[in-house]
């Protein structure tokens, strides 16, 4: 089922708790094909948890997760492999393998997912092209430990697109976290280019408003395990919803304000 009118990813009444804390509370979400959807919200509201449900890294306590119309939340790890070959994940901490060079890191998804005899020359050539694409030509033989935060993020993005064929979906977990505004801008532009060049569906979770506005076709705000807003970046910026307004303006929720005691 690859009907372009159907959502590529769908979550139905997904609930997830850790201990007594309910992180996702009957979430419904449909991700449109070929667009970039941003899920924003303050830290600890379950944005990353939601993202991990999409690729089967976490399973919901209740509810259903669909990819291309196929229910995936009940599939075992082996059955999830073909799905994961179509979805790339850019982790918040980049998750580059320290024991490998940059080139080996980028080539890893292709090496691991190739069947039969591996054509290393072809794979390394493709990986090198992906590194060129993110502006890291000549970084092939460096180790992740030798890179800056922005360079690591770009390697992680290169690894996300290094698939043959390219992925249908890229999930970005806090892509600009820990980066300075200029580096963040580089990453935002890269995310935009990925979508335009490969027609890839993007799901970005972030608490960075600049990133939200620059990369999002659609923006949702997660608050206390539920979505409290859904619209275009412009609609979100102009929203009257109190939680959204406070988040956009960078104001604390009334209950969060801490007064120093003597």
Partner 1 sequence: MRRENIVTASLRGLGTATLNGLSHFGRFWTFSAYAMSFIPLELVSVRGWRRLLPQCFFIGTRSVPVIMLTGMFIGMVLIVQGWAQFDAANMADRLGAIVMISVCSELGPVLAGVMLAGRAGGALTAELGTMNVTEQLLALRSMGADPVRFLVTPRFLACLLLAPILTCYADLMGTLGAYVVYLGVYGGESEPYWFYVRQTVELWDLGSGLFKAFFFGGAIGLVSCYNGFHCKPGAQGVGQACTQSFVISFILILMLDLFLGFLLNGLYSVWFGFRSLI
Residue among 112 and 164 whose Cβ is closer to partner 1: 112
Between the alpha carbon of residue 196 and those of residues 15, 137, 191, the distances in Å are: 33, 22, 9
Say how far apart CA 11 and CA 26 lie, in whole Å: 9
Contact 60, 53 (CB under 8 A): yes
Give the x-and-dash track for 108-147 against partner 1 (CB under 8 A): xx--xx----x-----------------------------
Smaller CB distance to partner 1: residue 107 or 222?
107
Q: Which residues contact 234 (CB under 8 A, 6 or more apart)?
A: none
Task: Please identify which residue in 70, 81, 137, 252 interacts with partner 1, judged by CB under 8 A.
Answer: 81
Rank residues 92 and 201 by Cβ distance to partner 1 and give the closer one.
92
**77 touching partner 1, by CB under 8 A:** yes
DSSP 3-state of 224: coil
Task: Give ∠ CA 54-3-25 in degrees, rounded to 5.
Answer: 30
Residue 94 beta carbon to partner 1: minimum distance, rounded to whole angstroms: 8
Letters for 31-70 (x = contact with partner 1 by CB under 8 A, - = none) are ---------------------x--x-x-------------
* Contacts for 224 with CB less than 8 Å, ≥ 6 apart: 25, 45
Stretch that binds partner 1, among 90-98, 176-184, 232-240, 254-262 (CB under 8 A): 90-98
Query: What kind and span of H or E run contains 215?
Result: helix 209-215
Task: Give the binding site for partner 1 (CB under 8 A).
Answer: 52, 55, 57, 77, 80-82, 84-85, 87-89, 91-93, 95-98, 108-109, 112-113, 118
């Amino acid at each position: 089922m690859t009907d372009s009118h159907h959502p590529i990813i769908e979550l139905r009444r997904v609930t997830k708790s850790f201990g007594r804390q309910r992180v996702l509370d009957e979430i419904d979400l449909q991700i449109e094909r070929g667009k970039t959807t941003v899920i924003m919200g303050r830290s600890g509201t379950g944005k990353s948890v939601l993202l991990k449900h999409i690729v089967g890294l976490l399973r919901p306590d209740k509810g259903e997760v669909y990819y291309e119309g196929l229910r995936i939340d009940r599939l075992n790890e082996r059955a999830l492999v073909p799905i994961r070959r179509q979805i790339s994940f850019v982790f918040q901490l980049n998750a580059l393998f320290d024991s490998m060079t940059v080139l080996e890191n980028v080539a890893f998804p292709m090496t691991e997912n190739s069947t039969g005899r591996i054509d290393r020359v072809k794979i390394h050539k493709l990986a090198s092209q992906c590194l060129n694409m993110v502006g890291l030509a000549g970084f092939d033989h460096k180790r992740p430990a030798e890179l800056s935060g922005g360079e690591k993020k770009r390697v992680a993005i290169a690894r996300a697109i290094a698939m043959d064929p390219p992925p249908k979906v890229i999930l970005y977990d806090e892509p600009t976290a820990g980066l300075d505004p200029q580096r963040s801008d580089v990453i935002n532009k890269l995310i935009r280019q990925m979508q335009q060049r490969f027609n890839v569906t993007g799901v970005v979770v972030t608490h960075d408003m600049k990133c939200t506005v620059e990369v999002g076709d659609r923006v949702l705000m997660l608050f206390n395990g539920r979505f409290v807003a859904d619209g275009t970046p412009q609609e979100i910026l102009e929203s009257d919803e109190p939680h959204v307004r406070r988040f956009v303006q960078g104001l604390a929720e009334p209950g969060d304000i801490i007064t120093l005691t003597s």
